[in-house]
Structure formats: C-alpha cells, structure tokens
Amino acid sequence: MLICYGGNAKTIIFTQTKLDANSLVLSDKIKQDIEVMHGDIAQNQREVTMKRFKEGKFQVLVATDVAARGLDIQDIELVIQLEPPKDTETYIHRSGRTARAGKTGTCITFYSKKTYELVVKIEDLAGIKLKRVGIPQPEDVIKATSRDILKNLTDVNEDVVHLFEDTARVLIDQHDGDAEKALQVALAYCSGFYKNKLVSKSLLTGQEYYTTMKMSNARGGMGFRDAQSVLRKYWDPRVSDNVRNMKMFRNGNGVVFDIRSETVEAFLENFERLKETGDRIDFDICKCTDLPELEEDGYGSVSNWRSDNNSRGGGGGYGQNKGFSRGGGGGYQDRGYGGGGGGGGWDRRGGNEGGGYRNNDRGYDNRRDNYGGGDDSRENWRG
C-alpha cells in the first residue's frame, strides 16, 4: 500500500495504540524511512520528529491520534488507518491530514469482519462512500516502483551520464543489440524486483498462490447457488471443490472467488472451449483485476462450500460435512458449528462462541483475523 499509493510522498499511518505504533516502526516489511510519534514520547522529541517530517527528512510517520488534529503539514499524499476508529469525527480528522489546501490525497482504512460495522457507521454519519480495493498485486507494486524510478531519474546530473556510456554499450550487446530490452533489465534491477518469480495474491485475502476470479451474468440473478451449479457442471471437481472465499456482487449479478494460481490457465482454457462448443453459455468468467461492490461478510459470503449444509442468522459460511451456523453467521467445516451472537468460524479441531478458531489457535488462523464466515483476511477501503 505504501508503494502503490504513496510512492515517495509523505505518509501518515494511524494506529489505535502506542504498542501498535512501536511494533510497526520495528517491522522489517517497511523499507521507507519511518519514525514514530505518540503520547509516551517526550514533547520536545515529538516537536523534533514533526519538524523533521515537515522538512522531508523521512517519509513515513507512524502515530496515534496525537497527530490527528491541529497539524497542518504540507504535501501529505497518503493516510493509512490500520483499523477504523470507533467515532466518525476521529476518522474525519485523520483523513483530513491529506488533500489540504486544494490538493488531492488518498486515505486507506483496513478493516476486519469484526470492525466492518464501524466502516458502515462512518459512511452513514459522514455522508461519504468508501471504495473497496483489493490487495495490490506484485505487478501493481512493480508499476508503482517504475513510476517512482522515472521521477528520480529527473534528478540525475548530466555531468555524470557520460560515465555510463561504456556500460550501456556492453548491456545492449549482452541483449543482442536490443536497447529496449537492455533498458527493461536495468529498470528491473533498479526496482529491486529482479530475483524472484512473481507470486500472485488473492485480491480478497492477500493469500499467496491464489488468484481471484470473477463470474458474472449481465442479465442479473447470479448468486452463490447459480455459481456453484455452473462450476460443478462445467469444471472438474478438483477445481470446483477447491473454490474459496466466494462473495457475491452487491447488485446480485455475479460472484468473485479464489482458485489456486497454478490452475488459472487451465480454468480459463476450459471456459474458452465451452464458448466454442456452441452451447448456450449465459455467464462470463475472467481474472478479477478490480473488485466490484460486494456483499459483506454476514450478508452473503461462502467459504469452502462443498455439501448441503444449513446457515442461519446473518448468513454464514459452508463447510464440508454436516454442520450449521447460528447467531450472526459463521463458517464451519468437518461437522463443526459456530455459535454465539457474533457467529464463529470453525475448521476441524477448534470452535468458539464469538470469535473463531482454527486448529485451536486462539481465535486466529495463521495470525490473521478470523471472524465469522471462514475468511481470514483484513480487507482494504479507500476513500
């Protein structure tokens, strides 16, 4: 998110707690220059940090709400909120750190199933509409990095350019005189993305080695059951039985879902064959690049649907065998059920009345939020 939406611009990341702020600053995932500011830091040090931030001495400021009000810092292009605040006024003050003095900016808010209602509350009370965006793909990150490289190239002093003349000729010769190919290789090296093969990620969950697909029907009326019937009718069970994280369009005209990335090519080839057979195909399938407006969890989502099960309450996930979900709607697998007012997620050995267990892992699956319908992601809103 920092690379794709912030680039080299100033960014503020808001956390709920001082502990979260300290933890984020120590993360090895963030490569930009980053500093922290919160209530436990002495006032004089906070003033020094703010002065350095204004002067562009570092790019990313991680802060609690001590930085949400009364600060007028120029050229902040990105605000990230690690979770939506409980009151709308705080959201407005946080997001208002960007897009000041007639300029534009972006505010991205992460949410979980547990905090989704706060997003709805903010939209209602503030009278705004947030757009849901998926996890940036490796291609998106590389394109954003290339954009930043082009900006930095304007800073190259002409006096040093001639020193690379011999190297440029050697590089072009190494690629059989193809100057464009040589330049592409050089830019790939500058971006830092040159050693490893690109790994696709689910737009819905960010899970690696999964690709999000979109199935739609222009005439409308395509829900979970319709999509399941299509997949079971036209695709091998090894594919259809391993569809994950299915979510329905808010307008009811289709669904999105995840499949293993190594099966995508064969999956789409099968669809092309279906169209060539002359059979009446009243649906369309493609790789999903931008998420449409979706029904949120608890209002129509299915994860790991493989048998006829019952779902009560807010509409929960399906599992493999006999089971059911009550209350706010939950996900289940292997004869388990999620109960309680908020719904629960089950996967084999675990269960919980209000949170969600997987393999007895204290309400979390692989250290990600697992609330309700079996999906373990934090998803992103951009406004």
For the chain, the structural domain boundaries read: 2-111, 138-191, 210-287, 295-300+308-383
Catalogue the long-range contacts made by 193-198 (C-beta closer than 8 Å, 24 or more residues apart).
193/138, 193/141, 193/142, 193/145, 198/138, 198/139, 198/142
Mean pLDDT score, 291-297: 81
Question: Which CA distances in Å does 98 have to 5, 101, 199, 237?
Answer: 13, 9, 32, 49
Summarised one tens digit per residue, pLDDT across range 301-358 is 444 433 333 333 333 333 333 333 333 444 433 333 344 444 444 443 334 434 443 3
What pLDDT does residue 321 have?
Answer: 36
**% of the chain at pLDDT higher than 70:** 77
- The pLDDT of 27-46, averaged and rounded, is 93
Give the tens place of pLDDT for each residue, 113-124: 899 999 999 999
Q: What is the pLDDT of residue 121?
A: 96
pLDDT attached to residue 278: 65
Cα–Cα distance for residue pair 283/215, rounded to 1 Å: 7
Coil, strand or helix: which one is 170?
helix
The pLDDT > 90 percentage for the chain reads 55
Whole-number pLDDT of residue 191:
87
pLDDT, tens digit, 9 for 90 and up, residues 137-153:
888 989 998 988 998 89
Name the more confident of 374 and 50.
Answer: 50
- For residues 261-269, give the mean pLDDT: 94
Confidence of residue 192 (pLDDT cuts 50, 70, 90): confident
- Answer yes or no: CATH 3.40.50.300 is held by domain 2-111: yes
Q: In the prediction, which pLDDT does 335 show? A: 36
* Least confident range of 10-24, 150-164, 209-223, 358-372: 358-372
SS3 136: coil
CATH number of 210-287: 3.30.70.2280
